[in-house]
Each structure stands twice: as structure tokens, then as C-alpha cells.
Amino acid sequence: MTEPLRIIPLSGVSEVGKNMTLIEYGDDAIAVDCGLMFPENDMLGIDFVIPDVTYLLDNPGLLKGIFVTHGHEDHIGALPYILPEIPVPLYATRLTQGLIEVKLKEAKLLDKIKINTITTDSAIEIGPFTIEPFHVCHSIPDAVGYAIYTPAGLVIHTGEYKFDETPADGKPPDFDRLRSYGDDGVLVLLSDSTNSERPGRTPSEQIVSQAFEKIFGEVNGRIIVSTFASNISRVQQVINTAMKHDRRLAIVGRSMVDNVKMALKLGYLTAPDDMIIHIDDLDDYPDSKIAIVCTGTQGEPTSALVRMANREHYQVRLREGDTVILSATAIPGNEELVHRTLNNLFRLGVDVIYQQLMPVHVSGHASQEEQKLMLELIRPQYFIPIQGEYRMLVLHARIGEAAGIPKENIFVVENGQAIEFDEEGGFVAERVPNGQIMVDGLGIGDVGNVVLRDRHLLSKDGFVVVVVAVDSKDGTLVYGPDFISRGFVYIRDSEELIEEAKERIIDLMESGKTHRDTAATDLRDTLSQFLYQRTRRTPMIFPVVLEV
Amino acid sequence: MTEPLRIIPLSGVSEVGKNMTLIEYGDDAIAVDCGLMFPENDMLGIDFVIPDVTYLLDNPGLLKGIFVTHGHEDHIGALPYILPEIPVPLYATRLTQGLIEVKLKEAKLLDKIKINTITTDSAIEIGPFTIEPFHVCHSIPDAVGYAIYTPAGLVIHTGEYKFDETPADGKPPDFDRLRSYGDDGVLVLLSDSTNSERPGRTPSEQIVSQAFEKIFGEVNGRIIVSTFASNISRVQQVINTAMKHDRRLAIVGRSMVDNVKMALKLGYLTAPDDMIIHIDDLDDYPDSKIAIVCTGTQGEPTSALVRMANREHYQVRLREGDTVILSATAIPGNEELVHRTLNNLFRLGVDVIYQQLMPVHVSGHASQEEQKLMLELIRPQYFIPIQGEYRMLVLHARIGEAAGIPKENIFVVENGQAIEFDEEGGFVAERVPNGQIMVDGLGIGDVGNVVLRDRHLLSKDGFVVVVVAVDSKDGTLVYGPDFISRGFVYIRDSEELIEEAKERIIDLMESGKTHRDTAATDLRDTLSQFLYQRTRRTPMIFPVVLEV
């Protein structure tokens, strides 16, 4: 081999290699996943964050295809933003393809991009790579990892996985396949670090089924289950339990309706013909015969569950006797919204069952013992923990060491850091560009630190614009001062403050202490000093001085 | 008895009766606590939230004293804001008094307010009330609950507590006292609901000591322990362990230094004379002989730990070999900041030990089994769960029912809801005013929904001010359009957009389609439509039209 193999994790926010990972050899590269992240709380006004593909744009023609591991937003959500720039073929299993198609259709890209359906029995050859998808268990059916044969050796990318022997879709992990890769010899393992802070094993989806069974067996009123729209497996668990207890099921929330429809069509969800009813037909059945599946687990203000909790959902009016199951966990940063939703549901007299009270949700990611098992099955020469924040990568690296991988063969890196493998071995190479590409409305990457800093300042103390016009000949005040202010004080209750501020400015203008060249600066200084002294707030101040 | 007894929980944010509770009989009332809450994430620019005491201001002379349970911010922090309005005597144990004095001194109130030192052996008579403090275990020494004898019967307020038989300060719970209140007959129990989502019992502080012992026994480098400045008990645990392992201790962070100094002086912290060293003297000792206690557990940007994590702390430069212990849990809403701090510490090569990895922190609040035990010791006729969000109150109420209190004798209420007790029994009475009184700089309660909404809008998409001057005779444009904008787009990269916006405005002004009366509105509409269409953002738009 003459060229080095290069592996480069890319991602939007703080998780390394979460949304995209590049595998490059010579003139060819493939990407695993192309997802988005939701903004952190201090990314004010940002819709979401996508991977920085500057490196691919700088090397046109390098990327030959994107291999998707599963259909969650953080793995497919950036496709509509990246594909117009880099229109390459996609490779995905059937359900994942279905979820991608919904996105590409909305973005009017469906006829421009080729999506290749792959199965765990297929192998795809692209340039120097042969790519073999393998089945993994995750919180969505049809999830895969990839075995990528390269001239430098075999690369295993686990995708997101847990080892669940009794998963909701009935397809246990393919231990034999993983072990056979290990037997063949693996150069490098890239493995899911999400739960490397958790000891032991992640419980099976079965305990969720058992919790559902217990609740459905005891409750006589309506049962409303809230989960992620993409959690098709969880919906199947609700269907199974509802069926057993002779309840019909209504689906609420646009994304949930779309996904369920698609999954039913493709056979990834199965339900008796007459079981799923329209939300408008709820009244045709007694409460004890009704279940509802809806979105809103993160307390999103416009979601179905939150509108129900706030009595703003006109089709579902919650009342005493109803039971709401929150079958998800709060993503860090969303806790306040989730807690508020829970409180509001309890205020309606509804019984609410959530993870702290009963195991109505389990993680879709491997905990420490499973991560260890993966390392022992694959027995890689090198190990790159991915899909986690930096601390999780460090903890996963320790598990790798405990599993016998030499410390110098483990790479804990940041997004944008290339790792190369050649005849000499593996080493940390150069960095490629990797910033936070923030999407805000139609703008992709145009909001940077300056705009964010201004939004932050405005969010704290607002702004004040002061407008004056002065005579161009003698500099005397002929108009103003006039104020525009928002987010600083409630103007109607602050007349005195505003009047006094005006007097200060008139004094300044008439004092002869300022002249045309410095008027704007003097105005700002005078005003900001006065306002700070009176309020201990620091609004952004903008003087407008017109000469007329 | 002729008057009803009234109990009214008051509080700033979502927790009921967390910061203040009123006990009223006839013309007299006492308050338990007077604390503040930190703002929720969507209270933009707010410093903190204090109880709404409109009811007390409307009834001057009613409040006779404030009884403080312990020295945490959420129980004493609002005193500097409330006391100038309602200057009543305070009652607190010695350590709590010390912590209050620091606050009142800063606020120049120390000589205006009488603070009465109380002990668990004392009883205070005020009007119709006799108030007996009793010892409870919490994450700060000298914490008490109150037995309040009233003409209507005995009221027990638990304060914040857990049942810890091996607490850090060596003072176990006073079961006998609690049981004897129960024997005497208790009208109503107000009890801490913070951990009513947690099954079982809260572990003893002893497991933290054991974890510290294990870490100090194994580590050779420096050990840095971060905890709340008010967690005097935790500091004592660090002192004890450091002493055993022959390490000196440096205290870092202004509030931590102040509190430790005061607690040492009052005898609530004990340490050998030469054990506590100045931070500047760290280099006089080998790494294996050093421990540091500091603030920063919530990832506060200006705290000692965060500055260390960002390499911005000029006295403590962290390096490989150091071990940081995060001895606290993230308050909901702070997770992102805490996670960022952990990641940055790991990036420095420091070993970091936090709650997910080892029991280096335990809660100071009773879990379900302890809450049950409290109910069984006190055996109250009525029960009001307090100090928790609504869902926690509901869960605590269920524990009350399980402990044999009839459902109709349990009051789950919101802040501001009075509950009355008379010859007929207890019932929900009228509501008193209870809003969110937000403190922002010097302003107390002046920031309301309008200002917050504007801050929210500004934080999302910023603002645009457009200034034009028109001839007062013929309305022709004589100046502008000029733009001021922040937080919307990065102006330097958006020249084309701004130029086009200017053209639209010039077109409008010269088209004859607008005239002086509608110019401002037309300007705003034209601009907002154009900008939305081009960016899908909705900045706040302010037109300034001068006639000259």
C-alpha cells in the first residue's frame, strides 16, 4: 500500500464523530452518516448545527458516497444541507431510506440524489473500499454498523448500538458476524461512546414492554404514550400492548403520523387493519379502549403533548382518569421544559408515569459492559472512541485499555482531527477545518461569534437607540433626543428615568463640551454611564446624530 | 379560638413554599425563610427571583418575624431585598446567623435589623405563637425545622432535611423530639418534597467520606475538590480526609473563602492551626501534600473551577497528575455548563471524578422512605407537601396517603394559595398575590413579561433600526436610509442584502405609495417582508422618520 488510510470525525456540537465520519484512501472517501445537532442553550436563535464539510468542498470529487447507519435526525438530518453542495449517492437500509426520502422530498432533492438500498447480506464496492453493513440493535429498527475493507486493513464502525437479546423488533445482535470480523483481524474500531459513563449493561427493551403491560393491565382510563417520532420500535411496543388489551390506537403529531404511516407501509410496523384510528374518532370508543401515541417528550412548546398539557390541544382534552406515559429521557438542556410539562400534566389531575417512577424508557446505547464486549469481539489493533462528548471518549478509552488495547493505540481526538494509518502504524495527523456551522432560517453558517455575542448582550439587557438632529452650521440641537428601546426597562413604567436621560443628553449637547466629530461617542458614554448608575444594567447603546 | 389559622406558601419560581412560608393567626404572622431562586433558562438577563410579598405590604404590621431554617441562598438570599420594605427581626441558629450577617453587611442593613440567635433548646413567643426550633440533618450544619404552637394547634415545618444517622457534623436526627410532637398531636405537617421522586433512602454523608478516603488513599498528585460554598459539612469532610493523609488545604473562590473563615471562627469547621494554607503558598509543598477546595460545581463561567478548566486561573494551573473531584450535582438547567467544564478538565489530562463515576456527592434531602418515616413520627391530622415542584408535591401527597392520611386532609397547592384551619377543619381558602418578582441589577420586579418577551425576540433574530429624513414640505428623501442592526446578520458579510434593502426603501419613498402619516408603518412592513423572504428570520424592526 502506498497511500495512508485516513479517518476524520466531523460533527456539529460537542460530540465527536456523532454526525459524520470520513474514511479516506487515496483519491476516494466515503462518509458514515450526515446528521445534525440541536443547538446548545447559548446558541441563541439557532435552528440547528450541521457538520463542517469545508474539507470536502476543498477537495471536490473526493467523497464518493454517504453510508447511513440509521434514521435518527443526528445521522440523517444534515443531508438536505450538504447534498446540494456535494451531490453524492446515499446508501441506507430500507427503513432508513424511507426516513431519508421524507427529508429529501421536502427539500426538493429526491430526483437529484440516488439512494441505494442496502441489506446486511450485501456488500458495496466503491473505489478501494468494500463496505459490508451489519445488523445492530438500537432504538430504531434497521440500524446497522459498517465493516469497511480498505487496502490498509479492516475498519469497523459500530454505528449506534446496544446488545439487546430481546429487542422490540425481535432481531438480536449478530454476535457471530462481529466475532468473525475479529477473527479476520481488524485494524481499527470506531465505537459508540454515548453511555460510557454508565456501569453495567443497558436494560433490554423488554423491560419497557413489561412496564407497559403492567400499566395497561391496571389502568381503566385513556392511556397516552409520548415518545420520539423516530422511535418506531417503541411505537411497536405500544401497538403490541394495546392490542393485547383490546385498545385502539390514535397517532398524534405530524412527524409521528408521517413516520408511522411510512413504517407501516414498509412493514417495519405491524398492526391489525382496524386498530389504528383517526384522532377525530376518539369519541366513538370508551376511554378504556383508547390509547394514543404522540410527540412532545422534550417539552417542545408546539408539540402535541405540551399542547395537551397546556389545554391547547383541541382534539385531545386531558382530564382526571387519563394516564400519560413519558417514554423517553430529557436530552441535556431540555430538563426545564420537560419538568414544566410534567408539572402541568399533574395540574390537570392526570396520572403521569415517567422514567424516575417506572422503567417506561431505556437507552438505545451500550453501557460499559457492552462496550467491553464489543472490544472483545472485534479485538482491534487500534481504537477510536466516537459518538460522545470528550469526557465520554476518555472513559471509553479506559475501557479499551482494560480490554487490552495498548494506550498508544487508542485515539481520543476532537472533531476535524485526522488519524492516519500506514505501514508504520497509526498516528494523529493534521487537522482539517471544523467549525460550528449553524443554521438559522435560510442562513447556513452565516451566524458566527459576533452575531451570537450580540444576541447574548441583547438578551441580557436589551438596547437603546438615541436619535438627535443638530444644525449643521452651529451644532445646536434641532430635534430630539428621541429614544427607541426594547428589553432594557419597561418604558411605560420608566418615564422618570427616560426624562432624566433626555435632560443629560440636552445638557451635553448644549454644554459646548461636545462637537460634531465626537458627538456620537460622547452621547453613548454619557448615556451608558447614566443608565448603568441608575439601573446596574448595560444595554447596547446606539447614538444616531443627524446634521441638518 | 375565634380566628382561623392561615398557612400560605410563597416562592419565586416553580417550587412551592421553597423560599418562604407564612403562618398567620389574627393580627400576627411569622414567616419561615426568605430565600431567592436562580432564574430559569428563559428568564433572560434576570439575576434571580425573590418571593412576592405584596400580601405583607398590603397588611403592614402583620409580619412579626422571620424564622430561618438554614443558611442556603434559597432560604436567606432574599433578605436584603425584603427587609428594607418590611424590617422585622430575624431568628436563626448561630451558623445561619453568621451567613445572614455577611449578606446584611454587604447590603448595609446590619445595624437596622435585629438578629436573634436561637438554639434547639430555646422557645420563642411571638403574639399567639410559641416557636420551637428542632435539629435536622441537611447539607449544611445548624439546620433546623420548626414546631410552631398556635391557638389552632401545632404546626410542624420540617425545613430541609434527611435522616442521616452518620452525618458529617456528627449530629444525628432528633427522632425522640419528632416522635414526642407526634405524641402531643400535630394539626398540620409541612414537609420537604425535593426528593419525592426518589425511592428508598438518601445515602448517608458517610459514603462521601468513604469515597474521599479511597481517592486520597490512591492519588499522589494534587487533589482539587469542588463543592458549593455553603456546603460547610462537605468542607469538613475534605479537611478530615486531607488531615489523615497529611495534606495541606488551600481554599479558592471568594464565597468559599468567606464562608470557611466564618465557620472556622464560629467553630462549625475545625482544622489544625497550620493546615489551611494560602493559595500563593502552594509551591512550598509537594503535589502529594496538597488539596484544594473551590467553587464552580455548576459550571459558572467566572468560578474558580471553570477558570482552572479554561487555563484562566493564574494561581492554579491544572496539569496531568491532578485529580479533580466534583462533589455536587448539576442543578437542572445547568447541565450543559457542567458538562462543558468536565470535558475541558479531561482535555487538560486531569483525572476527574464525579457523581456518575463514584459517590462523591449525596443529596441533602429525604427520599421516599424517609418522607414516610417523617409522616409516621409526626402523625399529623393535615399534610401540606412543600419545597418541591408540583409533580413532587403530588408524589409526596401519595406517600402521605400511603402513610394513612385521608386524601381530603392533604393539600397540594400553588404558591400564594392560603390554607385555613378553624373549628370545622382545614380547607383551601383564597389566593393572595403571587407573581414572579425578578431582580435585574437594581431593578426589583420592574422586568415583567413585556421586557422578557422583547429580550427573547432580540435573542432569536436581533433588531434593525432604519433611519430616514424627509423634506417636511414635499416628503422627498433627504437623508438615509441608514441602518443599525445587531444580532440579525453579520453586517460585513451581508453588504448585498443591506444594499438591496436600501433600494427597496428608496423605491418605497420615491414611489409616491407612502406619505408622511404612514411612512413609518410602510417602512417597517416593506423591510420585514423583504428580510423574511431573503433570510427566513424575523428581526424586530424600528423605523425612524425625521421631517426636516
* pLDDT at B1 exceeding the cut of 60: no
Grid cell 413489561 is found at A210
CB half-sphere exposure, A264, CA atoms < 13 A:
14
Suggest the residue from A456, A546, A547, A548 to mutate for an interface test with chain B (most B CBs closer than 10 A): A546
A467 at the B interface (CB within 8 A)?
Answer: yes
β-pair partners for A420: A6, A427
| Longest CA pairwise span in chain A (Å) | 90
pLDDT single digits (tens) A278-319:
999 999 999 999 999 999 999 999 999 999 999 999 899 999
Give the type of residue at A254.
R
Window from A485-494, A513-522, B50-59 with minimum mean pLDDT? A513-522
B179 has a pLDDT exceeding 80: yes
Which architecture does CATH list for B206-353?
3-Layer(aba) Sandwich (3.40)
Distances (CA, A) of A358 to A205, A321, A349, B90: 13, 19, 19, 44
B200 touches chain A (CB under 8 A): no
Among candidate residues B192, B112, B185, B190, the one with its CA nearest the CA of residue B370: B192
- The residues, any chain, with a CB within 8 Å of residue B33's CB and separated by 6 or more, are B19, B20, B21, B66, B67, B68, B69, B75, B76
Q: B355: helix, coil or strand? A: coil
pLDDT at A137 over 70: yes
DSSP single-letter state for residue B71: S
Could you tell me if B535 lies within 8 Å of chain A, comparing CB atoms?
yes
Give chain B positions within 8 Å (CB) of A343. Answer: 14, 389-391
Per-residue cell: B57: 405590604
Q: Pick from B14, B37, B414, B459 the residue to mutate for testing the A interface (most A CBs within 10 Å).
A: B459
The pLDDT tens digits of the residues spanning B337-391 come to 999 999 999 999 999 999 999 999 999 999 999 999 999 999 999 999 999 999 9
The number of helices, as runs of H, and strands, as runs of E, in chain A is: 15, 26
CA angle A456, B51, B91 (to 5 degrees): 130
For A478, the grid coordinates are 434641532
The region of weakest confidence among A8-12, A395-399, B421-425, B513-517 is B513-517
| Chain Cα centroid distance, residue A519 | 48
Query: Which residues of chain A have a CB within 8 Å of the CB of B338?
Result: none
Of the residues B486, B496, B530, the best mutation for testing chain A's interface (the one with the most A CB atoms within 10 Å of its CB) is B486
Q: CB of B92 within 8 A of CB of B122?
A: no
Which of A454, A535, A548 has its CB closest to that of B486?
A454
Residue B458: which of A342, A440, A458 has the nearest Cβ? A458
> What's the pLDDT score for residue B230?
87
Which residues are CB-neighbours of A423 under 8 A, at least 6 positions away? A1
Q: Which of B192, B322, B440, B522 is catalytic?
A: B192
Inspect the interface and report whether the beta carbons of B336 and A333 lie closer than 8 Å: yes
CA distance A53 to A82: 8
Q: What's B139's DSSP letter?
A: S
d(CA B308, CA B323): 12
**pLDDT exceeds cutoff 70 at A1:** no
Q: Using CA atoms, how far apart are residues A342 and B393, in angstroms rounded to an integer?
A: 12
| Mutual angle of helices A94-106 and A254-266, in 10-degree steps | 140
Instruction: Judge: A540–B486 Cβ closer than 8 Å, yes or no.
Output: yes
Q: Nearest by CB to B458, which of A357, A459, A542?
A: A459
Ranges assigned E (strand) in B81-187:
90-92, 115-117, 124-126, 129-135, 144-150, 153-157
Give per-residue pLDDT as tens, B72-86: 999 999 999 999 999
pTM of the model: 0.93
Residue from the list B390, B446, B489 with its beta carbon closest to the beta carbon of A346: B390
Interface of A with B in 328-367 (CB under 8 A): 332-333, 335-336, 339-340, 342-347, 352, 356-357
Measure in Å the smallest separation between the Cα of A440 and chain B Cα atoms.
Answer: 8
The DSSP symbol for A158 reads -
- The pLDDT of residue B208 is 96
Give the nearest partner residue to A441 out of B463, B536, B548, using CB atoms.
B536
Range list of H helices, B366-472 = 368-378, 390-402, 449-461
Three-class DSSP category at A343:
helix
Single-letter code of the amino acid located at A542: F
Cβ-based neighbours of B165, under 8 Å, separated by 6 or more:
B172, B173, B204
Strands B463-470 and B477-486: antiparallel
Q: Once rounded to an integer, what is the mean pLDDT over residues A453-482? A: 91
Query: Which residue of B356, B446, B458 is in closest CB contact with A197?
Result: B356
State the residue for C-alpha cell 433588531.
Answer: B463
Where are any strands of DSSP class E within B309-349? Answer: 323-326
Tell if the CB–CB gap between A455 and B458 is shorter than 8 Å.
yes
Residues of chain B found within 8 Å of residue A458, distances taken between Cβ atoms: 455, 458-459, 462-463, 486-487
Q: Which residues pair with A193 in a beta bridge?
A: none
Measured in angstroms, the CA of B535 and the nearest CA of chain A are apart by: 5
Q: Write down the catalytic residue from B135, B138, B361, B365.
A: B365
Interface test with A, best of B38, B331, B446, B463 (most A CBs within 10 A): B463
Active-site residues of A, by number, are 192, 365
Q: Report whether pLDDT(A86) > 80.
A: yes
- Nearest chain B CA: its distance from A311 CA (Å): 17
Q: Determine contact: B493 vs chain A, CB below 8 A.
A: yes
Computed from CA positions of residues B381, B384, B385, B386, in that sequence, does the dihedral angle turn out positive or negative?
negative
Residue B534 in contact with partner chain A when CB distance is under 8 A:
yes
Q: E strands along B243-284, which residues?
A: 248-252, 276-277
- The one-letter amino acid code at B111 reads D
At A372 the three-state DSSP class reads helix
At B485, the pLDDT band (50, 70, 90 cuts) reads: very high
CB A487 to CB B342 under 8 A? Answer: no
Q: Facing residues of A485 across strands?
A: A464
For B45, the closest of A14, A440, A460 (CB atoms) is: A460
Task: Out of A335, A339, A390, name the one closest to residue B335 (CB).
Answer: A335
Q: Searching chain B, which residue's CA lies closest to the CA of residue A548? A: B548
Which residue type occupies B514?
T
In three-state secondary structure terms, A255 is: helix
Q: Which of A327, A380, A48 is nearest to A182 (CA)?
A: A380
Contact A486 B540 (CB under 8 A): yes
Which of A465-479, B292-306, B334-348 is predicted with the least confidence, judged by mean pLDDT?
A465-479
Across chain B, what does the average pLDDT equal?
A: 94
Q: What is the spatial distance between Cα B426 and Cα B407, in angstroms, rounded to a whole number?
A: 12
Q: Which residues contact A493 (CB under 8 A, 6 or more apart)?
A: B446
Cβ atoms of residues A33 and A69 within 8 Å:
yes
The closest alpha carbon to B81, from B120, B122, B52, belongs to B52
Q: Output the pLDDT for position B13.
A: 72
Q: Which three cell numbers, joined as nine digits, stand for B501?
A: 434593502
Look at the domain B462-547 and name its fold: Ubiquitin-like (UB roll) (3.10.20)
Residue A535: per-residue pLDDT: 94
Q: What residues in A contact B344, CB-CB < 8 Å?
A: 390
Omega before B481 within 30 of 0, i.e. cis: yes
By CB neighbour count within 10 A (0-12 exposed, 13-18 middle, 19+ buried), where does A359 fall?
middle
Contact B458 A461 (CB under 8 A): no
Q: Which residues of B touch A488 (CB under 8 A)?
A: 451
- Residues written for chain A: 548
pLDDT value at residue A474 = 79
Q: Which residues of B touch A468 (CB under 8 A)?
A: none
Confidence of residue B12 (pLDDT cuts 50, 70, 90): confident
* pLDDT per residue as tens digits for the range A375-391: 999 999 999 999 999 99
- Residue B62, pLDDT above cutoff 90: yes
Strand B124-126 vs strand B129-135: parallel, antiparallel, or unpaired? antiparallel
Nearest CA in chain A to B398: A351
Distance of alpha carbon A62 from alpha carbon A59, whole angstroms: 6
Query: Can you say how many angstroms the Cα of residue B83 is from the centroid of all Cα atoms in its chain?
Result: 19
Confidence of residue A92 (pLDDT cuts 50, 70, 90): very high
User: Contact at 8 Å (CB) between A544 and B467?
Assistant: yes
The verdict on A511 touching B (C-beta cutoff 8 Å) is: no
According to DSSP, residue B409 is labeled G
Whole-angstrom CA distances from A81 to A38, A102, B403, B421 are 15, 14, 58, 64
Q: Spell out which residues of chain A touch residue B534, defining contact as CB-CB under 8 Å.
A: 442
Q: Which three cell numbers stand for residue B87?
A: 424590617
**Chain B nearest-CA residue for A347:** B390
Inspect the interface and report whether the beta carbons of A548 and B346 lie closer than 8 Å: no
Question: Architecture of B5-200+363-444 per CATH?
Answer: 4-Layer Sandwich (3.60)
In the numeric block, which cell numbers belong to residue A131? 463496505
A57-68 pLDDT, tens per residue?
Answer: 999 999 999 999
Q: What is the pLDDT of residue B548?
A: 79
Is residue A363 a contact partner of residue A329, using CB atoms and an 8 Å limit? yes
Q: Is the pLDDT at A190 greater than 90, yes or no?
A: yes
- Distance, in Å, from the CA atom of A481 to the CA atom of A500, rounded to the nearest integer, reads 11
Distance of alpha carbon A160 from alpha carbon A18, whole angstroms: 9
Average pLDDT, chain A: 94
* Strand order from edge to edge, sheet including B382-386: B124-126, B129-135, B144-150, B153-157, B188-192, B382-386
Peptide bond into A481 cis (omega under 30): yes
Is residue A420 pLDDT above 70, yes or no? yes
Facing residue for B487 by CB, picked from A41, A395, A454: A454
Cβ(A306)–Cβ(A264) under 8 Å? no
Q: What angle do CA A147, A149, A155 make, to 5 degrees?
A: 55
Nearest CA in chain A to B538: A441
- Spatial neighbors of B398 by CB under 8 A, at least 6 apart, are none
User: What local confidence, expressed as pLDDT, does residue A188 receive?
Assistant: 98
Structural domain boundaries of chain A?
5-200+363-444, 206-353, 462-547
Taking the Cβ of residue B444 and every Cβ of chain A, the question of whether any pair is shorter than 8 Å is answered with no
Is B197 touching A (CB cutoff 8 A)?
A: yes
* Residue A480 pLDDT grade (very low, low, confident, very high; cuts 50, 70, 90): confident
Q: How far is A427 from chain B (nearest CA, A)?
A: 19
Q: Which amino acid is at A521?
A: T
| Rounded mean pLDDT, A450-464 | 96
Say if CB B383 and CB B189 are below 8 A apart. yes
Calpha distance A259→A294 (Å, rounded): 12
Residue in B with minimal Cα distance to A45 = B460
Q: What is the pLDDT of residue B437?
A: 93
How far apart CA A482 and CA A279 sit, in angstroms, is 54
Q: How much is the CA Rg of chain B, to the nearest whole Å?
A: 29
Using an 8 Å CB-CB cutoff, list chain A residues near B41: 41, 336
pLDDT at A223: 98
The predicted pLDDT at position B388 comes to 96
pLDDT digits (tens, 9 = 90+) for B439-475: 999 999 899 899 999 999 999 999 999 999 888 887 7
**Phi, psi of A503, rounded to the nearest 5 degrees:** -60, -45
Question: What pLDDT does residue B160 have?
Answer: 97
A444: nearest CA partner in chain B: B535
> What is the Cα–Cα distance from B262 to B160, expressed in whole angstroms?
22
CA distances from A141 to A138, A267, A366, A541 (A): 7, 11, 16, 54
C-alpha cell at B259: 464562608
